[in-house]
Structure 1
Amino acid sequence: MSAPDIPLPGLDPAVLPLRSAPAAPGHFDELFGAATPVTPDATHASQVADGTAAQPARRLNPVWARFFAYLDKDDLARRNDNLQRQLRDNGVTYNVYADASAGLQRPWALDLLPLIVSPQDWAQIEAGVVQRARLLDAMMADLYGPRTLLQRALLPAALVQGHPGYLRPMLDVRPPGGTWLPIVALDLAHGPDGRWSVVGQRTQAPSGLGYLLENRIAVSRQFPHAFAGMKVQRLAASYRALMEGLQSRLPEGENARIALLTPGPYNETYFEHAYLARYLGLTLVEGSDLTVRDQRLYLKTLQGLEPVHALIKRLDDEWLDPLELRADSTLGVPGLLQVLRAGNLLMANMPGSAPLESSALLGFLPAISEHLLGEPLRLPSLATWWCGEEAALREVLPLLPTSVIRPTYPNARMDTVMGRSLDERALDEWAGRIARHPEDYTVQAWLPLSQTPTWTPDGLVPRSAILRVFALADGPQSWRVLPGGLVRLAPRGELVAAMQRGGSSADCWVLTDGPVDRTSMLHPATGVPTQAQPKRPVTSRAAENLFWLGRYTERAENSVRMAQLVLRQLSGDEPGARPLVAWLSALARENALVLPDVPGAEQSPRVFTRSLIAALAPAPGTPLAGQSYSVGFNLRALKSAAAQVRERLSQEHWNLIKRTEGDFARDCAALSGNAEYATAEALVALQNASELLAAITGAQTDRMVRDSGWRLLSIGRHIERLVTLARALMLGLEQRSLQDIDGFEAMVALFDSTITFHARYQQRRDMAALLDLLVLDRDNPRSLAWVLHSLRARLLRLAENTSPADTALALALPQSETWQLAALAQPGSERNFGALHTLLADCIAAAGTLSDEITRLHFSHADRPSQSLEI
């Protein structure tokens, strides 16, 4: 049966020509504000799932009628296109490990239409969520303190002490300020009776605070008049209250250093880690950025070790400390739990809350609330049975066909099982498993999720939704609910809302009858001059990645220019004089543009050229370790280094890097197999990459703050340039390619100095002119003297803010001021230019030494084992 077209009552079809299928029978329909009746026709499971059973037309929910009234004649298709374009431009991603077809990252899935919550519904949600936050925090204090819940059998010991996430190293710990859980997330479902129920809770490292903020910004821009006219409550006040609440519990107050701990770029929600850190003004750190000294936590920066006073963690507890938890963890910080036990760190949230996330806990919360808070729960939970209790097991086994089976403890091998999806044989098998190991399973009543309208080109389609809301601590033992949330939508026709299973998201608009809170994250202007915020520290890890970002940017530019030069010289009817071909062959081989076993260009220019084209870009999905070090490798390595410092790059900069790597890979994949045309197509691909790399260079030069991190990026670029140009010139001398006009011109082209050379020296083609421009000219950014001068200047400036040892590194560089053109241009015996050859060898050696010393001084901290004692 096909879905009927139901007009949206009260709207002029000429204004908004939309139709909507009804919600599935038995589900609350957000668009119409009531549950869809179950009719005798709606008996087939697929009809229940996708809402294709025929239903009578009903009046719109008043909040949705108000929303559509603001749309006038605007085109929703155009708004949706704008929304998706904005998400792509902003680089919003969600990493899915199992989705190999989509690559590591896929675009964040966001629906155009928000979920709208009335003021009346929100008042009930808000009161219930605050109560839950208080209750869960009190439970943490009890489970790691007096443990009265266990002594009075209000909680079975197996659910707590038998849970792998119960951390005995945290027993009798008291968090600074007395609050265990500054951030609590609850998953809510809107039932058929119109009541909101709690279906789950997240306390270890709740995700969504960054994504919901991006959702709000993206969707509100598509409906600015509706957003303002409907009095949608803003979000900034809650984020600001969270930060002020953390600062209020620290002796350092506003001067406290607060960091956000992330597992790194390969985590599924890394985008929001970087996004949230930037929005809140926090330092984004990985475990390797931190170290413990004297029971205190420090951040490893270019300036040394700096104290960290509070940590917002986005890392599950078991990975936090390899000394006391998982020994194989490379994501945490050795000794971190000892810092917490010493009371020297405020953490949001404190470790040990994993048992609170067990679905089995929901069945025990009503009695626990009466005991700890002296009040009943304001928000109901789903009916839940922990099968480890014999009475609950007997009661629930007959209910399996209409229930949901969940693991009691973390179990990656078991997904949620819907009883209604099982046949009789499968139900018997599950009943046997539960009977054999009852404590491992929890059974919950099945609640039909409410269905909210989503936009499609064919009209509005209802999809099942779960709303995640957040309680944020704004002071000791005080929480406020962020007025909105992250809406997760099930794929069309399915009933489980999970991002890992192909679900998507939506914004949540909470309407208010009172004034809209217009608090900003910006500090208010008081008219009184205050001390500016200190500069953001450059962590050692960020510094190292910026250093390599600079090196790979320069290396990519150089490899593109070399590949262009080789292809142009070898693709003609006359490939050039033998010394030139030998130089090109050596240059390409040394810079890994061809594989080592490829015959030289002197033997077979055609084979050499085709091999170079074949090696330009790796096949899609090839890991970096399995590639040749050609153009495509350098672009992927450039992107990888940039991803590690994503929070330090502008959106345009990051987009350029992604586009360059992606476009080049696509262009190379489309290269013709016909050798006659492949060279021309490869040159087009290389030219496109060259133009985009020039834009990346512009972003690095003109659009990055010149702090110590940028100076290391620049140093990395100049080290790479010094080695590449000096080595190319040395190869030219060794292959004697500079003695003929083609080789001479090729060298000038490689140094990107053709226009300048011809304008300055006209028809001269002698070594003195070449060396004057490419070696000695301190106004030419491609000359060795300019590169050394810039390196020295960057190092001396770096020494002012980091280590005085950088001054010694600057002074150890070759002194280009002492170079003399007459000596360098003197051919000597057999025209071997001995003085020039020695100078080039010195430059190459100096670059290698400088790279090693930079690593030792700023990235490993190997030379300052007791730095923390000086802080």
Structure 2
Amino acid sequence: MNNDASDSLFDELSPESPGDWALSLSLPADPGHRDELRRANPKDPDAPAELSAQWASFFEHIGADGFADLNRRSDNLQRQIRDNGVTYNVYADAATGLQRPWALDLFPMILSPRDWAHIEAGVQQRARLLNAMMADLYGERELLKRALLPAALVQGHPGYLRAMQGMRPPGDTWLHIVAMDLAHGPDGRWWVVGQRTQAPSGLGYLLENRIAIARQFPKAFAGMKVQRLAASYRALMEGIKAMAPEGENARIALLTPGPYNETYFEHAYLARYLGLTLVEGNDLTVRDQRLYLKTLGGLEPVHALIKRLDDEWLDPLELRSDSTLGVPGLLQVLRAGNLLLANAPGSAPLESSAMLGFMPAISRHLLGEELALPSLATWWCGEDAALREVLPLLKQSVIRPTYPRSGLDTVMGQSLSPRERDEWAGRMVRHPDHYTVQSWLPLSQTPTWSGERLVPRSAMLRVFALADGPQSWRVLPGGMVRLAPRGQLIAAMQRGGSSADCWAITEGQVDHTSLLQSAPSTLALAHQKRPVTSRAAENLFWLGRYTERAENSIRLAQIVLDHLGGEEPSSRPLMAWMSATARENSLVLADVPDASQSARVFARSLIAGLSPAKGDPMAATSYSVGFNLRALKSSASQVRERLSQEHWNLIERTEAEFARDCATLTSDAEYTTAEALSALQNASELLAAITGSQTDRMVRDDGWRLLSVGRHIERLITLSRALMLGMEHGCVHDAAGFEAVVALFDSTITFHAQYQQRRDMVALIDLLVMDRDNPRSLAWVVQTLRSRLAKLSQTAAPHDAELAMALPDPDTWVLADLSNWQRSPEGLRTWGELAELLDQCELAAGELSDEITRLHFSHADRKTI
């Protein structure tokens, strides 16, 4: 709905206060669901419902005029999500592709001080209980001996790790991050629906939600005394350091499965916010029962690891042997007491929905306390009595899988026909331990903005307990709300749900701690300097190479199409050079006839191969423009935490727009040259912006130096080879060919400014080979490479200084010697010393790439530091 439509709706209404506006624009909650917006009058149930106190305060702060502004705020919110690159990867979402923008509603869920105090106490208690359960399950196992937990449920669970038996984590703290999924029942009670202990997701999205929504309602956020989040994140980091083997000097990293994980955005976001190194499994290695990070300078110790992958993938030696996400030997490091792993492995059985039914008795045994937050009634069907009790109740219940990877999904009993319920009952009788049944609770419904009115949607609240010291937890105030699509009963992001912020109102002082405003000392800053992992270095190196390769291939494609589509026929030497150079750069396949034989066929082949579609057989053999842009994006996705959001957005936009332009282009059988040139020009302009981001907006650390080295290696190879081909085919002695070579070096304006209309080889060699002020000359490229490698050798590895010496030295190049030519027996001009130099440059660049790979991206022969 547009703003004009909303204005017309408001004109039809004449409420007296902002609260009246809200009530007049809101739909009631569905029957049986608690309405978070309204409160009933207990003295007169038939009286019209009023706004709850917290929502009345919210609407007073935005004012009556704020309602007409809600669509603009909603648009701003969606734009902010897109601009910030907040995504949630949906594996099965074929319609939108792998990544989609994070779905965030405009209105927060608002919790009263009373509700929050109750939730806080209950979640904190459950964190203590779960930690005590972990200590018992991998220690004395009293819960199993006393039959407070069925042994089949625990030891039969695929996530029970016998390798952890007898292990004691630092500070006797097994769980540093615990998430509870809560539901607000029709009776006003909060219920625990599920718990996450392996690698709970949401801490990053929660933070992004808070920042985004607070910007849309700054007056309400400040005026309503919403409790802040930063102090809890800081307490988590301080607690980890206090318990880690190295204490305050501990190096902490965040372990991610990688950019294809569904919640990768928040992994990178959290690492940046908390000042941690984001690592993948192959960034780490185990030596002498200690964990090390592979960096450019060698192996650096890691003392604490926050993991964002499930336990089974952690160690291929002792857990899943097919895992490529973990670190071989990691569990041995844990057993040796040389690492704090948050959370400790082995907690998967606690996540089973069946566990909730046993926790009241366990709490009385381990804590001597009744649970402050009750669990929904839960039956594990592996017990005969429970199975018999629950079979008649399926219509009012939810059927859940007991174990992960069982191939089962959550099923609402009320959505099944009588015949389907009978079929489910039969399955449960045949394999009872695979099923858990939970009573169904109508989720409370919180207001959301639809564009013209307030629409209630079912909500589930995820709240986090964070360890702030040995066996001590604090609850992050607020949480992440998951909203079910309108008319659906399950709130899940994978099922098309969305999210909302959660505001916990406090009656006390608001904590204004900020991790963004901390000012560590000079020594601390030096100590916290971010290392460059070998994986990040390798991806940055190839990011530089693919950026340069894409630029060169675009420029060459433009030159070829301009000449082949021109009004005047191109000379034979130019045709030969274009054909050879296009093949060398994979713009056309090897079996395409030369341009001199059929200019039209050559041009159509080049255009058809600009961006082969994914799955196209040509994509496997062509490394043309589209391939290079996709490879550029792939390398960049591996180091997103090192790129500005604008830089990443440019990379995504360039690849997407070029693919779209080429898809339109290749649907036309005529392969219009003008349209192809337009697509190439657009991509060229966007690549110039990407290059600008790499040059001006990245920290000059060793990672950036390797990116620059990659670019200049690629430039040296491409330009040396192109100039060699120009001499071999006589192109440089032809007027049009001479201009084409200069254009490929991106030096046309410079050349004519310095040499006017001269087209002799001395001028060409002077500018394209010797001129150290021309960033496209070979001397400038070699000089820059030597400089980058020399700087790298000071901070990473002294071997880089030796690599620099292997490059040809521009100080020894003499223009007169390079300009001498001789006539071959066939009567052709040959450029002996120049040809030798070009061969040296091309060969040295290739060898340099191989040596950098050996020295910096593989650590088979590196020592710890």
TM-score (normalised: structure 2): 0.95
Q: Does the Cα contact within 8 Å between 1:111 and 1:505 map onto a contact in 2?
A: yes
- Which residue of 2 is the match for residue 26 of structure 1? 32
> How far did 1:575 drift?
3.2
**Aligned partner of 1:163 among 130, 154, 157:** 157
- Which residue of 2 is the match for residue 334 of structure 1? 328
Q: Does the Cα contact within 8 Å between 2:445 and 2:457 map onto a contact in 1?
A: yes
Q: Tell me how far apart the structure 2 counterparts of residues 457 and 264 of structure 1 sit (CA, whole Å).
A: 36
Higher mean C-alpha deviation, range 17-26 or range 506-515 = 17-26
- Which residue of 2 is the match for residue 128 of structure 1? 122
**Aligned partner of 2:724 among 710, 717, 730:** 730
User: What code does the residue aligned with 1:861 have?
Assistant: H
Q: Tell me how far apart the structure 1 counterparts of residues 18 and 192 of structure 2 sit (CA, whole Å).
A: 38
SS in 2 for 1:398: helix
- Which residue of 2 is the match for residue 68 of structure 1? 59
Q: Tell me how far apart the structure 2 counterparts of residues 35 and 622 of structure 1 sit (CA, whole Å).
A: 66
- Which residue of 2 is the match for residue 602 of structure 1? 596
Residue correspondence of structure 1 range 641-660 to structure 2 within 5 A: 641-660=635-654
Q: CA separation of 1:338/1:566 partners in 2, compared to 1, >3 Å: closer, same or farther?
A: same
**Aligned partner of 1:858 among 851, 856, 859:** 856
- Which residue of 2 is the match for residue 837 of structure 1? 835
Q: CA separation of 1:769/1:292 partners in 2, compared to 1, >3 Å: closer, same or farther?
A: same
- Which residue of 1 is the match for residue 49 of structure 2? 58
> How far did 1:671 drift?
2.5
TM-score (normalised: structure 1): 0.94
Q: CA separation of 1:119/1:627 partners in 2, compared to 1, >3 Å: closer, same or farther?
A: farther
Query: After superposition, what is the alpha-carbon deviation per residue over 1:28-47, rounded to whole angstroms, capped at 9, x for unaligned?
Result: 111114599xx9xxxxxxxx
Q: Tell me how far apart the structure 2 counterparts of residues 8 and 328 of structure 1 sit (CA, whole Å).
A: 66
Q: Tell me how far apart the structure 2 counterparts of residues 251 and 92 of structure 1 sit (CA, whole Å).
A: 35
Q: Does 1:537 align with 2:528?
A: no
User: What code does the residue aligned with 2:134 have?
Assistant: M
> How far did 1:581 drift?
1.1
> How far did 1:593 drift?
1.0
- Which residue of 2 is the match for residue 356 of structure 1? 350
Q: Tell me how far apart the structure 1 counterparts of residues 787 and 37 of structure 2 sit (CA, whole Å).
A: 64
User: What code does the residue aligned with 1:804 have?
Assistant: P
Residue correspondence of structure 1 range 553-632 to structure 2 within 5 A: 553-619=547-613, 626=620, 628-632=622-626
Q: Does the Cα contact within 8 Å between 1:8 and 1:18 map onto a contact in 2?
A: no
> How far did 1:601 drift?
1.0
Query: After superposition, what is the alpha-carbon deviation per residue over 1:538-567, rounded to whole angstroms, capped at 9, x for unaligned?
Result: 000000000000000101111111111111
Q: Tell me how far apart the structure 1 counterparts of residues 385 and 727 of structure 2 sit (CA, whole Å).
A: 89
Q: Does 1:426 align with 2:420?
A: yes
> How far did 1:11 drift?
3.1
Q: Does the Cα contact within 8 Å between 2:285 and 2:327 map onto a contact in 1?
A: yes
Query: After superposition, what is the alpha-carbon deviation per residue over 1:18-61, rounded to whole angstroms, capped at 9, x for unaligned?
Result: 6222111000111114599xx9xxxxxxxxxxxxxxx9952111
- Which residue of 2 is the match for residue 48 of structure 1? none
Query: After superposition, what is the alpha-carbon deviation per residue over 1:510-559, rounded to whole angstroms, capped at 9, x for unaligned?
Result: 11111111011146559998664431000000000000000001011111
Q: Tell me how far apart the structure 2 counterparts of residues 574 and 803 of structure 1 sit (CA, whole Å).
A: 55
> How far did 1:825 drift?
1.4
Number of aligned residue pairs: 847
Higher mean C-alpha deviation, range 431-440 or range 237-246 = 431-440
Query: After superposition, what is the alpha-carbon deviation per residue over 1:611-662, rounded to whole angstroms, capped at 9, x for unaligned?
Result: 2112112326769964621111111111110000000111111111111111
SS in 2 for 1:764: coil
Q: Tell me how far apart the structure 2 counterparts of residues 763 and 722 of structure 1 sit (CA, whole Å).
A: 27
Q: Tell me how far apart the structure 1 counterparts of residues 14 and 215 of structure 2 sit (CA, whole Å).
A: 24
- Which residue of 1 is the match for residue 3 of structure 2? none
Q: CA separation of 1:35/1:367 partners in 2, compared to 1, >3 Å: closer, same or farther?
A: farther
Q: CA separation of 1:57/1:10 partners in 2, compared to 1, >3 Å: closer, same or farther?
A: farther
> How far did 1:588 drift?
1.1
Q: Tell me how far apart the structure 2 counterparts of residues 690 and 508 of structure 1 sit (CA, whole Å).
A: 44
Q: Tell me how far apart the structure 2 counterparts of residues 450 and 397 of structure 1 sit (CA, whole Å).
A: 27
User: What code does the residue aligned with 1:147 have?
Assistant: R
Q: CA separation of 1:35/1:643 partners in 2, compared to 1, >3 Å: closer, same or farther?
A: farther
- Which residue of 1 is the match for residue 761 of structure 2? 767
Q: CA separation of 1:343/1:12 partners in 2, compared to 1, >3 Å: closer, same or farther?
A: closer
Q: Does 1:849 align with 2:847?
A: yes
Q: CA separation of 1:373/1:724 partners in 2, compared to 1, >3 Å: closer, same or farther?
A: same
**Aligned partner of 1:386 among 360, 380, 393:** 380
Q: Does 1:678 align with 2:672?
A: yes
Q: Does 1:89 align with 2:95?
A: no
> Which blocks of at least 5 consecutive residues in structure 2 are unaligned?
1-8
The alignment-based identity, stated in percent, is: 75
Higher mean C-alpha deviation, range 348-357 or range 730-739 = 730-739
Q: Tell me how far apart the structure 2 counterparts of residues 148 and 835 of structure 1 sit (CA, whole Å).
A: 83
Q: CA separation of 1:754/1:141 partners in 2, compared to 1, >3 Å: closer, same or farther?
A: same
Higher mean C-alpha deviation, range 514-523 or range 227-236 = 514-523
- Which residue of 1 is the match for residue 796 of structure 2? 802
**Aligned partner of 1:140 among 126, 134, 139:** 134
Q: Does the Cα contact within 8 Å between 1:262 and 1:313 map onto a contact in 2?
A: yes
Residue correspondence of structure 1 range 108-507 to structure 2 within 5 A: 108-507=102-501
User: What code does the residue aligned with 1:843 have?
Assistant: C
Q: Tell me how far apart the structure 2 counterparts of residues 562 and 35 of structure 1 sit (CA, whole Å).
A: 76
> How far did 1:837 drift?
1.2
Q: CA separation of 1:332/1:850 partners in 2, compared to 1, >3 Å: closer, same or farther?
A: same
Q: Tell me how far apart the structure 1 counterparts of residues 770 and 653 of structure 2 sit (CA, whole Å).
A: 36
Higher mean C-alpha deviation, range 719-728 or range 601-610 = 601-610
Q: CA separation of 1:653/1:429 partners in 2, compared to 1, >3 Å: closer, same or farther?
A: same
SS in 2 for 1:70: helix
Q: Tell me how far apart the structure 2 counterparts of residues 720 and 35 of structure 1 sit (CA, whole Å).
A: 74
Q: Does the Cα contact within 8 Å between 2:245 and 2:303 map onto a contact in 1?
A: no
Q: Does the Cα contact within 8 Å between 2:33 and 2:185 map onto a contact in 1?
A: yes
SS in 2 for 1:329: coil
> How far did 1:682 drift?
1.4
**Aligned partner of 2:17 among 2, 7, 11:** 11
Q: Tell me how far apart the structure 2 counterparts of residues 93 and 779 of structure 1 sit (CA, whole Å).
A: 43
Q: Does the Cα contact within 8 Å between 1:624 and 1:637 map onto a contact in 2?
A: no
Q: Tell me how far apart the structure 2 counterparts of residues 56 and 838 of structure 1 sit (CA, whole Å).
A: 95
Q: Tell me how far apart the structure 2 counterparts of residues 550 and 529 of structure 1 sit (CA, whole Å).
A: 32
User: What code does the residue aligned with 1:26 have?
Assistant: G
User: What code does the residue aligned with 1:417 have?
Assistant: V
Q: Tell me how far apart the structure 2 counterparts of residues 416 and 563 of structure 1 sit (CA, whole Å).
A: 54
Q: Tell me how far apart the structure 2 counterparts of residues 692 and 119 of structure 1 sit (CA, whole Å).
A: 50
User: What code does the residue aligned with 2:77 have?
Assistant: L
Residue correspondence of structure 1 range 699-714 to structure 2 within 5 A: 699-714=693-708
> Which blocks of at least 5 consecutive residues in structure 1 are unaligned?
40-54
Q: Tell me how far apart the structure 1 counterparts of residues 20 and 430 of structure 2 sit (CA, whole Å).
A: 62
Q: Tell me how far apart the structure 1 counterparts of residues 817 and 400 of structure 2 sit (CA, whole Å).
A: 81
Q: Tell me how far apart the structure 2 counterparts of residues 390 and 33 of structure 1 sit (CA, whole Å).
A: 43
Q: Tell me how far apart the structure 2 counterparts of residues 93 and 743 of structure 1 sit (CA, whole Å).
A: 48
Q: Does the Cα contact within 8 Å between 1:35 and 1:193 map onto a contact in 2?
A: no
Q: CA separation of 1:540/1:835 partners in 2, compared to 1, >3 Å: closer, same or farther?
A: same
Q: Does the Cα contact within 8 Å between 1:672 and 1:681 map onto a contact in 2?
A: no
Q: Tell me how far apart the structure 2 counterparts of residues 766 and 569 of structure 1 sit (CA, whole Å).
A: 21
